[in-house]
Amino acid sequence: MIGYYISLALRSLRGTPILSALMVAAIAVGVGASMTVLTLNYMMSQNALAHKNDVLYAVQLDSWDPNQTFNRGDGGNDIPLQLTYQDATALLRSDIPARQVAMHRYGFTVTLEDSEARPFTAETRVSTRDFFALFDVPFIYGGTWAEDADLSPEQLVVLSKATNDRLFGGADSVGQIVNLNGEPFTVVGVIDNWNPSPKIYDLNNNPFADSEELFIPFGLHRRFEMVSWGNTNGWSAGDNGYEGYEARLFGESVWIQYWVELNSAEQKSQYDEFLTGYIRQQKEQGRFPRPLKFALTPPSEWLVLNDVLEDDNRVLGWVSLAFLLVCVVNAIALLLAKFLRKAPEAGVRRALGASRHAIFMQHLIESMCIGVLGGLFGIVLALIGLSGIRALTLGIADRIASMDWLMMLAAIVLAILASLLAGIYPAWRISRTNPSVYLKSQ
């Protein structure tokens, strides 16, 4: 019967092309507008680490100002989002986590000995060796550096695929030398394409930026007097008697992102204890002036905490759905007009043996056909809307302003739901009308 209803629906739509076009347009415009916004929101809320939600934690310690809380964004928990260098290096000494990563953003000028390749500045991640394993970064060649390199300066580097393509034409470059700021670094690994968006492992700057082009060991700070190229927050210079670069390393500024992998509840409670003990001990030395507070946050909550999907976007999402509802109401009026005009035919069908249910289904499927068409055109409108956003944002939003298959499917589902919503009342009305009224009137 469904096939019969669909063929009737298509015939009926062809019979009133202008009215049909209006209804399809109503659904398409509503779906197009809401899918544009919902796609942005959806892409902004992607969690590349969802599969590790129950083992990965971002670490926060409240080492902040005694006179005021650290506060950033609506979703925040009043604890600094990053750690001080001294706390990060202290935590690295714990062997409770299965894996842990301390890291920050940096940059190097890259040159190649005996090469025509022009020098360029490369986004760099300074990290401990577990970065790749912790965040599931795939390698093409080689692998991460040995543990020593995180403690003492060893000039090793892991290249992104794009960088390796650029410098070595995609060949296995493990063992080759790359000059960073004029210093020779030995390539130990090349990673495959890897670009989580939002960039969940470091949301401090643009959460939708590309991932880094180079990765170097954490043991190189003093060698290059590295500080963060990313977001740094401070409240006190610290008065621990250090001078020069050491003073910057051991100040109270927060600029290190810290993640741990805790594979069991037991490990987690051990680590909780460890952090509590650490903060107590630091308090004895005059640091951590605020009430004892720390947080271990899994990836999905980390996205919320960092306010990646801002409230404005959420509101816009609801507004766009409300707009779709307005379009649906329009479609209801049009469908009602159309169905009631065809009421005599429904009367004849009833006389010939159609039940109310059959009439209801026939008309509901007609509205669903409008929904499917509206959905397809809605996708086209959403793609146009998203390309408009890409054009307006000059590349910043390229990766979030694009539709994947799931969102296209969602558009169709949304359109069908909208058309069902629009069609239920008109279809019900027509199925309830007394057929004899229309049979007489001819």
Partner 1 sequence: MLNMHNIRKSYRTDTVETHALRDFSLSVDEGEFVSVTGPSGSGKTTFLNIAGLLETPTGGEYHLDGQEVSGLSDRERSRLRNEKIGFIFQGFNLIPDLNLFDNIDVPLRYRGFDSKERKRRIEKSLEQVGLSARVKHLPAQLSGGQQQRVAIARALAGEPRFLLADEPTGNLDSLMARQVMELLELINQAGTTIVMVTHDPDLARRAHRNIQIVDGQVSDLRNTIGAEEAAVA
Where along the sequence are the contacts to partner 1 (CB under 8 A)? 1, 4, 11-12, 15, 344-345, 347-358, 434-436, 439-442
Residue with token string 């409008």:
370
Q: Where are the beta strands (DSSP E) in 24-84?
A: 56-61
The nearer residue to partner 1, 333 or 437, going by C-beta atoms, is 437
- Least separation in angstroms between CB 421 and partner 1: 24
- Least separation in angstroms between CB 339 and partner 1: 15
Do residues 174 and 129 make contact, with C-beta atoms less than 8 angstroms apart?
Answer: no
- Least separation in angstroms between CB 335 and partner 1: 18
The nearer residue to partner 1, 307 or 345, going by C-beta atoms, is 345
Do residues 270 and 109 make contact, with C-beta atoms less than 8 angstroms apart?
Answer: no
Torsion of CA 328, 330, 334, 340, to 10 degrees: 80
Q: Where are the beta strands (DSSP E) in 87-213?
A: 99-111, 120-127, 139-142, 156-159, 177-180, 183-191
The nearer residue to partner 1, 305 or 354, going by C-beta atoms, is 354
**120-to-51, 72, 172 alpha-carbon distances in Å:** 35, 34, 21
The nearer residue to partner 1, 310 or 345, going by C-beta atoms, is 345
The nearer residue to partner 1, 140 or 358, going by C-beta atoms, is 358
- Least separation in angstroms between CB 161 and partner 1: 57
Please give the DSSP secondary-structure letter assigned to residue 254.
Answer: B
- Least separation in angstroms between CB 417 and partner 1: 27
- Least separation in angstroms between CB 348 and partner 1: 5
* Percent of the chain as helix, strand, coil, to the nearest 5: 50, 15, 35
Backbone angles phi, psi at 253, to 5 degrees: -70, 140
Q: Count the neighbouring beta carbons within 10 Å of the beta carbon of residue 353.
A: 7
Do residues 421 and 324 make contact, with C-beta atoms less than 8 angstroms apart?
Answer: no
Q: Which amino acid is at 369?
A: C
CA dist., res. 185 & res. 169, Å (int): 18
Q: Which of 365, 355, 358, 359 is nearest to 9 (CA)?
A: 365
- Least separation in angstroms between CB 370 and partner 1: 18
The nearer residue to partner 1, 71 or 355, going by C-beta atoms, is 355
- Least separation in angstroms between CB 440 and partner 1: 6
The nearer residue to partner 1, 5 or 132, going by C-beta atoms, is 5
375: tokens are 């959905």
The nearer residue to partner 1, 348 or 420, going by C-beta atoms, is 348
**Exposed/middle/buried for 279, CB within 10 Å: 0-12, 13-18, 19+?**
buried
